[in-house]
């Protein structure tokens, strides 16, 4: 397997993630609860919600938490982006047995709620290190008529590893893998002004991710009959990952790009692919 060379900051961020005392529990009715001490996240994803996710922000609010008006940061808020997959050669061309990774980018979306932020000032509000906490959802919608599988049967033996089987007789209206994650940033941020509405800002660093849930969803027709299924399980997405991130903007509007420093899938359990996300953020809400 090829190893990405941009992994020097990864161990520090993954250490931060493993140091968070967090628990996740899946319940009936497609509900997932995540706890961080007194903070709680409730994720509801049922068939009657039209493939939506809900975060109970009131349960996440720590009444004693106050970052202060004098801390000018641009992490807290909502990120909306588009997902891409890059191969080991840093391009989006997938051929041969990996061709199923060709995505429908219009439906491969990423969104995050960055609920908490904290700034360690270096030069007042002009420069500092920003950290915090966010919850993110990344969807990878496949362009071709494929059925993704977490294991295959070879000579009567089960072989673990994500792959896909083609079936041109199936017409898909939805065919995606969705990853839910907790995010911890470590970003060096610069601002040109103390006034949040007039500040040009630039930040860069590493995002540590705990990918605690992956779900495979399909809606399709066979011989005119509609089918729908939703499978929670282990699709060999790496549990702990890290992304390099750059954020740049003016006022409350920010553009961002992030690139995976580690392959999306576990070593020897799937193709070597690196997620790339580009989008817009509304911060300082």
Q: How far apart are CA 236 and CA 232, in angstroms?
A: 12
Q: Which residues pair with 70 in a beta bridge?
A: none
Residue 88 lies in a domain: yes
Q: What is the pLDDT of residues 231-276, one digit of tens each?
A: 998 999 999 999 999 999 998 899 999 999 999 999 999 999 999 9
- At residue 265, the pLDDT reads 97
Q: Could you state, in chain order, the average pLDDT of each consecutive group of 10 residues for the chain (285 residues)?
A: 44 45 48 52 52 44 41 89 96 93 97 94 93 97 94 86 90 95 97 89 98 95 87 94 97 95 96 98 76
Residue for token pair 């390099």? 244
DSSP 6-41: --TTHHHHHHHHHHS-EEEEEETTTEEEEEETTEEE
Residue 1 lies in a domain: no
- At residue 155, the pLDDT reads 78
Number of domains into which the chain is organized? 1
Residue 84 lies in a domain: yes
Buried b vs exposed e over 198-233: b needs ≥16 C-beta within 10 Å?
ebebbbebbbbbbbbbbbbbbbbeeeeeeeeebeee
- At residue 142, the pLDDT reads 97
Residue 232 lies in a domain: yes
Residue 270 lies in a domain: yes
- At residue 197, the pLDDT reads 84
Q: What single DSSP character describes residue 69?
A: T
Residue 62 half-sphere exposure, CB side, CA atoms within 13 Å?
A: 13
Residue 2 lies in a domain: no
Residue 185 has a CB neighbour count (10 Å cut-off) of 25
Residue 5 lies in a domain: no
Residue 194 lies in a domain: yes
- Provide the domain limits for residue 250: 10-283
- Which among 102, 110, 179 has a CA at the least distance from the CA of 145? 102
Cα distances (Å, whole numbers) of residue 207 to 150, 223, 241, 253: 27, 45, 8, 20
């Amino acid at each position: 397997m090829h190893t990405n060379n941009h992994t020097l900051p990864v161990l520090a961020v993954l250490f931060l993630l493993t140091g968070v005392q967090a628990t996740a529990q899946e319940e009936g009715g497609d509900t997932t609860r995540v706890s961080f001490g007194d903070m709680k996240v409730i994720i509801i994803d049922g068939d009657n919600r039209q493939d939506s996710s809900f975060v109970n922000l009131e349960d996440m609010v720590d009444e004693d938490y106050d970052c202060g008006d004098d801390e000018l940061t641009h992490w807290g808020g909502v990120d909306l982006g588009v997902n891409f997959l890059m191969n080991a050669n840093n391009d989006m061309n997938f051929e041969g047995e990996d061709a199923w990774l060709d995505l429908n980018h219009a439906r491969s979306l990423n969104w995050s709620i960055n609920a908490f932020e904290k700034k360690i000032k270096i030069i007042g509000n002009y420069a500092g290190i920003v950290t915090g906490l966010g919850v993110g959802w990344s969807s990878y919608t496949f362009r071709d008529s494929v059925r993704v599988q977490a294991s295959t049967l070879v000579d009567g033996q089960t072989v673990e590893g994500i792959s896909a089987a083609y079936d041109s007789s199936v017409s898909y209206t939805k065919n995606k893998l969705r990853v839910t994650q907790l995010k911890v940033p470590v970003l060096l941020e610069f601002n040109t002004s103390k006034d949040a509405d007039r500040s040009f800002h630039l930040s860069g660093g590493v995002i540590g991710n705990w990918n605690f849930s992956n779900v495979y969803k399909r809606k399709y027709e066979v011989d005119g009959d509609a089918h729908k299924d939703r499978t929670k399980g282990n699709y060999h997405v790496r549990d702990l990952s890290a992304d390099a991130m750059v954020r740049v903007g003016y006022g409350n509007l920010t553009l961002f790009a992030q690139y995976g420093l580690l392959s999306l899938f576990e070593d020897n359990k799937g193709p070597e692919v690196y997620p790339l996300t580009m989008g817009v953020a509304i911060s300082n809400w």
